[in-house]
Structure 1
Amino acid sequence: MNSPKMTLINKGIALKLLKRVDVLSESQSLALDIGGSLAKIIYFQPDGANRRKEKTDGIPKLCIDYLDPKREGSSLSVRVPELNGTLHFFCFETRNIEDCIKFISEHYRQNGKEKRRVRATGGGSYKYDKLFSEVGVELTKLDEMCCTVAGLTFLLTHFDHEVFSFLYPDGSLPPPGLPESAPALAECRRFVDARPDPFPYLLVHIGSGVSIVKVTGHGQFERVSGSTIGGGTFWGLCRLLTNCKTFDEIIDLTKEGNNERVDMLVGDIYGGDYSKVGLGAGVIASSFGKVTMRKEPPPTFSNLRKAWRRVVCGTFWLWCDFMLNVPILGHFLRRLGLEKHLRSRIANIHFGKIFRAEDVALSLLRMISYNIGQIGYLNAKRYDLPRIYFGGNFIRDHPYTIASISYAVHFWSNGQTQALFLLHDGYLGALGAFLGGESTISENSYSEL
C-alpha cells in the first residue's frame, strides 16, 4: 500500500482537510494521540461513506479527494482492505490543540446534549481532557505504551511494505552524511515481509524524549530504558541556536548543512586515521567540538571593525524579523523569500560570525541520532533481542535521520545488527488508539475491528 509520509502540516490545512472529510456523517472512528510537541489524528472513513456522485475511472471519489491535487498532505490517506475503508492521517503542533478541539466540537457531536466519545492517548489526553469536556466531547483515555505497542504489532503482522532497513540497492550502507548524488529515500528502502509472530523485538520510540520497550508477545511488554535526549532536545536546541520557527524548517536546513564545519573529527585530533582502535579520520570525536578549537581574536582596530560590522548586520536582521511580523508587509516580504534567509541565520550573533545555521542543524541532528542509535543497540544486546524498530515523530521519513541511526547501530554492532524503520513511524500511538489500545489483541482479532 502507499504510505502517508510523516508530514507536519499547517494547522489550517489540517482543519480544512478534516472539514472536507465531514467527520460527523462519515466517521465510525476518530482517534487522537496528543503528545507534548505534536498532536496526531487518525480518522477512519468506511467504504461507501458519504460518497459524492462524481466518479473517476468508475470509482466514486471520497470527499477528501476533492481538494487540490497539489494540496499539502495529499499522501496522508491510505486504503486498508483489511478494515474495509480508508485511514486519513493528520499531524500538527500541540500548541494548536485548541483549534482541533473547536473543530471537533462543531463537526463531531451527536444531537442534543449527549457527548460524543473519542479514543485518545498520550499525555495531552489528560492535560486537555477538561477542554474537550467543555465542548461536549468525552475522551476515552487509553494507555500510551499499550497503544504504541498495539499499533506497531498490527503493522508488523499485516503489511509487507511497512518495515524497512536503509540500504543502497547494492546492499551497502549509505553514509550518514548522504552525498547529493545519493538515491532517493524510497530507493534505499529494503522492505521486510510481515511476520505472524514478530516477537521478541525492541521498540525505540522517539518523541519529545525516548522510550525503549522490550516486547515479547501480545500484551507482554516492558519499558526497559529511555532517554531525555530526544526529538524535544533537538528541536529545543535548534530554536535556541537558529531563527527557525517550525520543526520542518530546521529539517530543511539540515539538507544544506555540513557538520564537519562544526564537529571535531578524529582527523582533526590525529591528523588522519586512528588505526590502532579502528577509527577513521572522518569519525566524529566530539559533536560541536570545533567550537572549542576557535581562538578568540585579540583586541585590535581591525577586529574592532569586524565586531562593528557584526553589530550592524545583527541589527539589520532583527529589524527584518520585526517587519515580518507587520501585517500585510510581512506577507509581502515572505513572498519575496526574506523569511527563508532569516531562518538560515544563527540566532547568536557572536556564534554566527563563524558557523552557519545549516551546519549547526545537521550537527545537532547527527548528535541526537547517534546517541539514540547507540542506546538502542546496547539495550538490544543487553536483552539479546534480534530486531530493533525505530519509530516516532523525530524520524519524519528524513533520510539524514534514518541514515545516521542506521550508521550508529551498524558501527556499534560491527555490522551484526540492523536498524529497522516504519513507514507509519509517527502514528503508532494513534493507530493503537484506533484499534482500541489493547496490546493483548491477538492476530486474529484485528479482522473483527
Structure 2
Amino acid sequence: MNSPKMTLINKGIALKLLKRVDVLSESQSLALDIGGSLAKIIYFQPDGARRTTEKTDGIPKLCIDYLDPKREGSSLSVRVPELNGTLHFFCFETRNIEDCIKFISEHYRQNGKEKRRVRATGGGSYKYDKLFSEVGVELIKLDEMRCTVAGLTFLLTHFDHEVFSFLYPDGTLPPPGLPESAPALAECRRFVDARPDPFPYLLVHIGSGVSIVKVTGHGKFERVSGSTIGGGTFWGLCRLLTNCKTFDEIIELTKEGNNERVDMLVGDIYGGDYSKIGLGAGVIASSFGKVTMRKEPPPTFSNLRKAWRRVVCGTFWLWCDFMLNIPILGHFLRRLGLDKHLRSRIANIHFGKIFRAEDVALSLLRMISYNIGQIGYLNAKRYDLPKIYFGGNFIRDHPYTIASISYAVHFWSNGQTQALFLLHDGYLGALGAFLGGESTISENSYSEL
C-alpha cells in the first residue's frame, strides 16, 4: 500500500538501519508511536507470513486491508533479504486507532507465545492501552521524549544523506514565494554528513503541539520549552475553515494558494519597503490582516445576482456532498476524486468571492511555520545551541513548510543559524521505540543480521 504522493522513508537508509537494529525479544515485529493526530507504525513481516499476493516493485504488500488508504494509510514497504522479510513504515490518523488495533489483532503473531507484547510510545500508548489489552496485546510503554531523541540521535550518528538544510539553487534563502513557482525540494536540499558526536543540539519536534528539547549527549536531554501552536492547530483550523477532511487534502490545497490575498504585508501598510528597519514590501506584517480590511458589498442588483449565483452553486455542491454519504454511490464518487474537489468548493461558498480556501490554507501554513521557526531560534539563542533540528509529521517533506521554517530561522537570526531537517523525521518516535529507547547499539547486537 505505497503512497505515490509522499515518500516517508528512504529505502537505502532503511536497509542500513536494519543492519544495526537490535530487535528485542518481547516485540520482534512491531513498534508504535501513537500521537494526538497521527499514529506511526514500524512493522516487520517475515517471509512466509500471511499476506496479499499482489506485489509492488517485487515487494509483497502488507496485509493491512482494514486500514483504508483513503484514511491516511501512508506507507512504504522495503524488502530486506538480510532479514528474510519486509519492513513496513506507515502512518494514519489517530482517530482511526480502532482499525490499527484490529489490524494488530488479526495479523500480528508472536511465535510460541500466548501474550503479544508490542513496544509503544506517545500519549496514545497510555490513552488506548485498555483497547489494546482487550485484543490480547500488552503495550510495553517507552518514554516518548526518550524515544524521539534516541531516534534522532541514531540517525545523526549513523547515516549520511539523511540530514539537510534548505537553500534555493542559487544559494539564497528569500521569503517563500507562491508554491506553484517554488523549485523542487530535491534541488534545494543541502545534505550534512553524519558525525559521531552531534552534540549539543536543539530538537524542535512538531506534533499536535510543539516540544523543544535540548540534547547534550546520548540519553542526556531536557525539555526546555514548547508551544500549543503546532500541527494540530494548523490541521484543526483548516478543518474548521476549509472543510478538508485529511491532512494531505489540506497540503494539496496550499499548493494552489496565494497568501498575499489574505495576509497583510509590509507593502500594504507602507506602500513599499520599510527600509529603515530592513523590512521588504513582501514581508508579512499580519497573518490574515487583510480580512480586517474587507468591505461588505453594498446592496446593489449586481451584488444580488452574485449572491444568488453563490446560493445556486452552493446548493449544487451541498447536494454533491450529500451524495458522497450515500452507500455504494458515495464510494464510487470518492474513487472518481469528487470528495477532494468538493472540499474547497464548499469552503469557498462560505468565503464568498473575496477569499479562497486555498489562500486561507496557505496563510495558516505560513503563520504556524513562522511561529515555530521563531520560537525554535529563540530557544537555540537562549541556550547557545548551534544546531536546530526540526522534526515531526507536520513537516511531511512538504517543500513550502520546510522553506517557511528555514526562512523564519534565517530571518530572526540574521542568517547566523540554519534550520536542519531529516528525510524521515515523522518516524523518530517509532524508530526510537523500535530501538528500545537507545540511540547507541553495539556491534554484537546486530552482527548476525
| TM-score relative to the length of structure 2 | 0.85
Equivalent residue for 2:93?
Answer: 93
Question: Structure 1, residues 340-364: CA drift from partner, whole Å, max 9, x if none?
Answer: 3311235374423311111111111
* TM-aligned CA deviation for residue 240 of structure 1: 0.6
Query: For structure 1, which segment, 113-122 or 382-391, has the greater mean C-alpha deviation from structure 2 after superposition?
Result: 113-122
* TM-aligned CA deviation for residue 306 of structure 1: 3.2
* TM-aligned CA deviation for residue 411 of structure 1: 0.5
Distance 1:110 1:200, change over 3 A: closer
* TM-aligned CA deviation for residue 113 of structure 1: 7.5
The CA RMSD over aligned residues, in Å, is 5.8
Equivalent residue for 1:187?
Answer: 187
Is contact 1:125–1:141 with CA below 8 Å preserved after alignment?
yes
Equivalent residue for 2:27?
Answer: 27
Question: Structure 1, residues 142-199: CA drift from partner, whole Å, max 9, x if none?
Answer: 0000000000000000000110011233322264225645432122111100010000
Distance 1:323 1:433, change over 3 A: same
Distance 1:418 1:119, change over 3 A: same
Distance 1:82 1:414, change over 3 A: farther
Question: Structure 1, residues 318-370: CA drift from partner, whole Å, max 9, x if none?
Answer: 21111111123323434554323311235374423311111111111001000
Distance 1:82 1:228, change over 3 A: farther
Question: Structure 1, residues 202-246: CA drift from partner, whole Å, max 9, x if none?
Answer: 000000000000000111101000000000000000001112111
Is contact 1:22–1:63 with CA below 8 Å preserved after alignment?
no
Is contact 1:22–1:107 with CA below 8 Å preserved after alignment?
no
Is contact 1:5–1:424 with CA below 8 Å preserved after alignment?
no
Distance 1:109 1:68, change over 3 A: closer
SS of match in other structure, 2:43: strand
Query: For structure 1, which segment, 256-265 or 40-49, has the greater mean C-alpha deviation from structure 2 after superposition?
Result: 40-49
* TM-aligned CA deviation for residue 76 of structure 1: 1.6
Is contact 2:200–2:216 with CA below 8 Å preserved after alignment?
yes
* TM-aligned CA deviation for residue 116 of structure 1: 1.1
Distance 1:3 1:441, change over 3 A: farther
* Aligned counterparts of 1:379 and 1:366: Cα–Cα separation in 2: 20
* TM-aligned CA deviation for residue 135 of structure 1: 1.0
Distance 1:186 1:386, change over 3 A: same
Is contact 1:8–1:92 with CA below 8 Å preserved after alignment?
no
Equivalent residue for 1:18?
Answer: 18
Is contact 2:20–2:446 with CA below 8 Å preserved after alignment?
no
* Aligned counterparts of 2:69 and 2:233: Cα–Cα separation in 1: 35
SS of match in other structure, 2:152: helix
Distance 1:168 1:347, change over 3 A: closer
SS of match in other structure, 1:365: helix
SS of match in other structure, 1:196: coil
Distance 1:178 1:26, change over 3 A: farther
Distance 1:448 1:292, change over 3 A: farther
* Percent of pairs with identical residues: 97
Question: Structure 1, residues 109-136: CA drift from partner, whole Å, max 9, x if none?
Answer: 3478821110000111111111111111
SS of match in other structure, 1:346: helix
Distance 1:51 1:136, change over 3 A: closer
Question: Structure 1, residues 365-411: CA drift from partner, whole Å, max 9, x if none?
Answer: 00100000000000000000000000000000000000000010010
Distance 1:11 1:68, change over 3 A: farther
SS of match in other structure, 1:447: coil
Equivalent residue for 1:410?
Answer: 410
Is contact 1:9–1:73 with CA below 8 Å preserved after alignment?
no
Is contact 2:80–2:86 with CA below 8 Å preserved after alignment?
yes
Distance 1:283 1:431, change over 3 A: same
* Aligned counterparts of 1:435 and 1:444: Cα–Cα separation in 2: 14
Distance 1:105 1:11, change over 3 A: farther
Distance 1:271 1:379, change over 3 A: same
Distance 1:297 1:418, change over 3 A: same
Q: Which runs of 5+ in 2 are unaligned?
A: none
Equivalent residue for 1:229?
Answer: 229
Distance 1:128 1:43, change over 3 A: same
* TM-aligned CA deviation for residue 260 of structure 1: 0.6
Query: For structure 1, which segment, 212-221 or 44-53, has the greater mean C-alpha deviation from structure 2 after superposition?
Result: 44-53
Distance 1:384 1:354, change over 3 A: same
* Aligned counterparts of 2:205 and 2:151: Cα–Cα separation in 1: 12
* TM-aligned CA deviation for residue 102 of structure 1: 1.2
SS of match in other structure, 1:76: strand
* Aligned counterparts of 1:25 and 1:54: Cα–Cα separation in 2: 30
Distance 1:70 1:339, change over 3 A: closer
Distance 1:21 1:333, change over 3 A: farther
Equivalent residue for 1:283?
Answer: 283
SS of match in other structure, 2:239: helix
Distance 1:310 1:73, change over 3 A: closer
* Aligned counterparts of 1:313 and 1:65: Cα–Cα separation in 2: 37
* Aligned counterparts of 1:348 and 1:444: Cα–Cα separation in 2: 59
Distance 1:10 1:331, change over 3 A: farther
Distance 1:224 1:21, change over 3 A: closer
* Aligned counterparts of 1:71 and 1:347: Cα–Cα separation in 2: 20
Distance 1:56 1:220, change over 3 A: closer
Distance 1:346 1:18, change over 3 A: farther
* TM-aligned CA deviation for residue 441 of structure 1: 6.5
Equivalent residue for 2:58?
Answer: 58
